[in-house]
Amino acid sequence: MSTVWKKAFALLALVAIVATLAACAAPTPAAPVVQTKVVEQTKVVEKVVEKPVEKVVTATPAPKPGADAFIFGAQGEPVCLDPAIITDGISSRVTRQIFEGLVKFDKDTFNVVPQLAEKWDVSADGKTWTFTLRKGAKFHDGTEFNADAVLKNFDYWRNTKNPLHAAQEKAGQTFEYFKNQFWGFDDASIFAKIEAVDASTVRFTLKEPQGPFLNNLAMFMFVFWSPTALEKAGTNSCKQPVGTGAYKFVEWKANEQVTLEAFADYWDKPNVAKMKRVIIRNIPNNSARLLALATGEVHAMEGLEPRDVDAVKNDKRLKLLLRPANTTGYVAFNYKVKEFQDLKVRQAFAMAINKKPIIDKLYGGTGQVAWQFQPPAMWGYNKDLKDVTFDTAAAKKLLADAGFPNGISKVTFDGKEVPLDFWYMPVSRPYYPNPKDIGTAIAADWAKAGINVSLQTVDWSTYLDKRKKGELPLYMLGWTGDNGDPDNFVCYFFCLDAKDSPKPEEGFFADKEISDVLKKAAATVKQEDRAKLYQQAEKMIYDKTIRVFMGNNQPPLAFLAGVDGYIVNPTGSEYFNTVVVK
Amino acid sequence: MRTVSPANNSDEIARVLARPPRSLWRDAWRRLIANRLARLGMAISIFFLLLAIFVPVIFPYNAKIDSDLMNQLLDPSLEHWMGTDEQGRDVMNRIAHGAQASLGVGVSAVLIAVIIGTLIGLVSGFAGKWIDLGLMFLMDILLAFPGLLLAIAVVALIGPGLRNALLAVATVSIPVYARIARSTVLSIKEQEYVTAARCVGSPSTRILFRHVFPNSLSPIIVQGTLGIAAAILEIAALGFLGLGQQPPYPEWGAMLADSVKYLTSGAWWVLLFPGLAIMLTVLGFNLLGDGVRDALDPRLRVD
């Protein structure tokens, strides 16, 4: 063999390695995809590759795809565009622009202000709510907005005998939020009666007072469809949204983007959309999305790597906005694990974690340490509680007292002895900006106290599914508040059903005392009284170490310097009609 | 073959007969040593093999408790030659310990694949008929998939983890060795010495393992050496996808995956060094494999 050939071979090997690595380096969705859906997976990889890295080097702004559009880089693909069905933030970002409800959250707060209702009255007993509707609001298809439309929408959400409701359920498109916020469907729901007093007045009669009622109505899912359009769309409602919002739906290119267009007949004339179009692009990879922003392909993005927060702050061409802290990340115990039924063991787990460095170093400077479920700004927050002191030795001692002098590495889960698996999320969420790193750091802290866990993960939908079934012995997850009411944080997780049966989706949590306090708080109307109850509940949760709360994060958003008028809302779903791109 | 005519002088005969016997292996070794690139490849491979074998013994490392966030992402310095990663762990330390995962698994995967693959190939080629058809049909099915994709599918079936990644990579490479073994067997079994053995009445197994097997070894050795490089790359790719070594244990591919997010933010050391480690090892084994191929080529034999 000639030396030339050999050299060529060596070179080839090099190229092959580099090519393979580059192919790998085309960042996978941070999640290890363990499912065998090979077709889908290839799609993801293709998409990621489409943004070559060189763009950063050359840094020539890509030709603007239309100067009249506001382009938002989202972390993923919408699931569905029927707001009544969805539960996720990526879908609700789109539906927020298209649909409106009776009331909304004002600007960057949880203050409830009128939207399609002009004003409302509540009876002294808190059971009768009368809303006066705005006149002259039109749906995108020209249908008039009136009491009839409100009633038809409520029937669609609440009445399981409504043909479309039934058809949606049958198609696996469920009304999860309605069920949660209004306590069930049909007669089980909190509504005794919903009636139209006249064409522009709607009256809700509740079976009992509900503290967070108005906040619930302001959530992204209780917004109104054009009744005619809904009827036409049927079970295809995910693909043909029609509301009264400032933008109307144009098209949804799967795995690529959703395009919206300003609605000329919008009722709120001063707030007609400033930009002609809105394009919400799907760029799953955090770094690729930032590159797209740097090159001007998108005007705004969410889901910054913590490490990139500073870089954005220091870049004159970009700017950074933080959403007010309304998220809490936690580590949850599964109470089917025999060891976790012992308070001392749970306390040891909580005490062994050194939260401060984790929050400081792995949240990109946007996080703060948490030790109760509600973020500090929430009115149910208990100011008297102090975080447990990080103390490895004390944690070891607690474990020894509980009968584990040599630490814990195996547990009895559902009657079987298994190694203790600690599950970390495969994707970054606002409450855990990089779960793998955070999980690794938590596991290392535990290991120093003799708690030997093995880190596990699986793709996101399987992860959530396993959690729902209560199959994860010890796991990371968190919550972003939807409506500014403590109920939405604490009760959502710790209120038990009528039979007080353990909740598999919350690790078979079943504490009647806590649940009773929370239910009482939800049925109380006066905020001061409610606040006391929530503070009491937080103390009980803390004393019993039901969960280990890790941190509250202020999710960062990055913009081109020329983008103005974006108002961050703690719910994470914002209106784009005020945005201007210069 | 050299024929010595009886008419020639006996001195010549005596000289040839007195020459110390030179085996194929000895010859090959000398040619390998003489090859500059192969020497380089060997040096690199041996360096990383020594790392993989001795580092865990001499410097025990408990990955489970290794996290010191206060020293997060330090630049390379005298204290941390290759800097530290997002957990504040020494990158050089993790690369040294990661060698065990990458190389150990790469080499074992190839060994498993060579043993099983060769056995299948030998049996298939020697037995012929429907056994050959059936076995090769199976191998062709495996060969029809791109290697890495098949490995991903295997891991998806049996779950992520280093041991499962090893099995996946081994499974994927079996058909290569089976094919090579079979094709050499097919040519060897027509040789006269095999016919001779059969005439003497040797049983099939004896012929297979005494005569056919040793003579079909060299192409398998060549492929095996090159295969180690490919296996290391596949292990790293699986690790990168999160299907191989699980955190917190070090493995080069997984280290790369953890560091990709720093591509835009200047912490080059967490990305460069694991990448270099993979590249060098693969290059080393490729050069070595190339040298072995040259060395074992009977046409290049000199005396």
| Long-range contacts at A144-148 (CB < 8 A, ≥ 24 apart) | A145/A116, A145/A224, A145/A244, A145/A267, A146/A199, A146/A200, A147/A196, A147/A197, A147/A198, A147/A199, A147/A200, A147/A201, A147/A202, A148/A196, A148/A199, A148/A227
In a domain, B241, yes or no: yes
Nearest residue on chain A to B65, judged by CA atoms? A444
Q: Which ipTM did the prediction report?
A: 0.82
Domain assignment present for residue A302? The answer is yes
Looking at the structure, tell me whether residues A346 and A419 fall in a common domain.
yes
Mutate to test the interface with A, among B37, B44, B85, B86 (most CBs of A within 10 A): B86
B267 touches chain A (CB under 8 A): yes
Residues of chain A found within 8 Å of residue B275, distances taken between Cβ atoms = 21
Position B209 in a domain: yes
Structure token pair of residue B242: 């999160």
The reply to whether A336 and A474 lie within a common domain is yes
Taking the CB of residue A488, how many other CB atoms lie within 10 A of it? 24
Q: Do A116 and A219 lie in a common domain?
A: yes
* Residues linked to residue B52 through DSSP beta bridges, in sequence order: none
Would an 8 Å CB–CB cutoff place B229 in contact with chain A?
Answer: yes
Could you tell me if A156 and A225 are in contact, meaning their C-beta atoms sit under 8 angstroms apart?
yes
For A:404-463, CB contacts with B below 8 A are 426, 434, 436-437, 439-441, 443-445, 447-448, 452, 454-457
Residue of chain A whose Cα is closest to the Cα of B293: A1
Task: Closest CB to A357: pick one of B70, B155, B157.
Answer: B70
Domain that holds residue B27: 23-57+82-300
Q: Which of A280, A304, A291, A279 is nearest to A429 (CA)?
A: A304
Residues A544 and A576 in one domain: no
CA–CA gap between residue A554 and residue A542 (Å, rounded)? 23
Q: Report CB contact under 8 Å: A307, B267.
A: yes
Q: Give the count of alpha carbons within 13 A of B125, CB side only.
A: 26
CA A278, CA A574: separation in Å to the nearest integer? 13
CATH number at residue B254: 1.10.3720.10
* Residue A43 neighbours by CB distance under 10 Å: 13
Q: Is residue B16 part of a domain?
A: no
**Per the domain annotation, does A263 fall within a domain?**
yes
pLDDT score for A117: 95
**A46 within some domain:** no
Smallest CA–CA distance, residue B103 to chain A, in Å, is: 16
Verify that A169 and A188 share a domain, yes or no. Answer: yes
Same domain (yes/no): A129, A225: yes
Whether A287 contacts chain B with CB within 8 A: yes
B165 in contact with chain A, both atoms CB, cutoff 8 A = no
Phi, psi values for residue A72, rounded to 5°: -110, 130
Answer whether A21 sits within 8 Å of B65, measured CB to CB: no
Domain count, chain A: 3
Q: Which residues contact A330 (CB under 8 A, 6 or more apart)?
A: A373, A476, A477, A478, A479, A547, A548, A549, A550
CB-CB neighbors (< 8 A) of A20 in chain B: 233, 237
The partner residue sitting opposite A24, judged by closest CB among B159, B240, B264, is B240
Burial of residue B65 (number of CB atoms within 10 Å: 0-12, 13-18, 19+): middle
A464 close to B (CB below 8 A): no
pTM for the predicted model, two decimal places:
0.78
Q: Are residues A212 and A110 in the same domain?
A: yes
B69, part of any domain? no
State the residue for tokens 């949760």: A541
pLDDT in 10s for each residue of chain B, 303 residues: 455 555 567 787 787 777 777 777 788 888 888 889 999 999 999 999 999 999 888 888 888 888 888 888 888 998 898 999 988 999 999 999 999 888 989 999 999 999 999 999 999 998 888 999 999 999 999 999 888 898 999 888 888 889 999 999 999 999 999 999 999 999 888 888 888 998 998 888 888 888 888 888 888 999 999 999 999 999 999 999 888 888 899 999 999 988 888 877 778 899 999 999 999 999 999 999 999 988 887 666 554
Question: What is the pLDDT at residue B249?
Answer: 92
Confidence (pLDDT) at B118: 93
Q: Single out the residue in A172, A204, A239 at which a domain terminates.
A: A239
Q: Is B65 within a domain?
A: no
Structural domain harbouring A252: 3-30+60-77+246-319+565-581
Assess whether A17 and A115 both reside in one domain.
Answer: no
Q: Are strands A191-198 and A201-206 parallel, antiparallel or unpaired?
A: antiparallel
pLDDT at A62: 45
- Judge whether B285 is closer than 8 Å to chain A, CB to CB: no
- Domain annotation covers residue A45: no
Is the minimum CB–CB distance between B50 and chain A shorter than 8 Å?
no
B69 interfaces chain A, CB cutoff of 8 Å? yes
User: Roughly how many angstroms between the first and final C-alpha of chain A, as a whole number?
Assistant: 63
Record: contact B87-A290, CB cut-off 8 A: no
Chain A residues with beta carbon closer than 8 angstroms to that of B250: none
Q: For position B302, what pLDDT does the model report?
A: 53
Q: Which CATH number covers residue A472? A: 3.10.105.10
- Our count of domains for chain B comes to 1
Residue A120 belongs to what H/E stretch?
Answer: strand A117-122
Cross-chain Cβ contact B69/A440 below 8 Å: no
Residue ranges, chain A, pLDDT below 50: 1-6, 8-63
| Structural domain ending residue among the three candidates A216, A239, A262 | A239
Q: Does a structural domain hold residue B153?
A: yes
Pick from A186, A216, A239: which residue ends a domain? A239
Token pair, residue B22, equals 């030179």
Cβ atoms within 10 A of the Cβ of A86, count? 22
Same domain assignment for residues A159 and A14:
no
What pLDDT is recorded for position A65?
52
CB neighbours (10 Å) of residue A198?
A: 10
DSSP for A516-547, please give it: HHHHHHHT---HHHHHHHHHHHHHHHHHTT-E
Asked, for residue A292, whether it belongs to a domain, the answer is yes
Interface residue B260 vs chain A (CB under 8 A): yes
- Comparing CB atoms, the residue among A287, A358, A448 nearest residue B260 is A287
Alpha carbon distances (Å) from A270 to A50, A108, A249, A266, A278: 40, 19, 21, 10, 18
Cβ contact A307–B240 (<8 Å): no
| Residue A366: inside a domain | yes
Q: Can you give the pLDDT at residue A14?
A: 46
d(CA A378, CA A375): 6
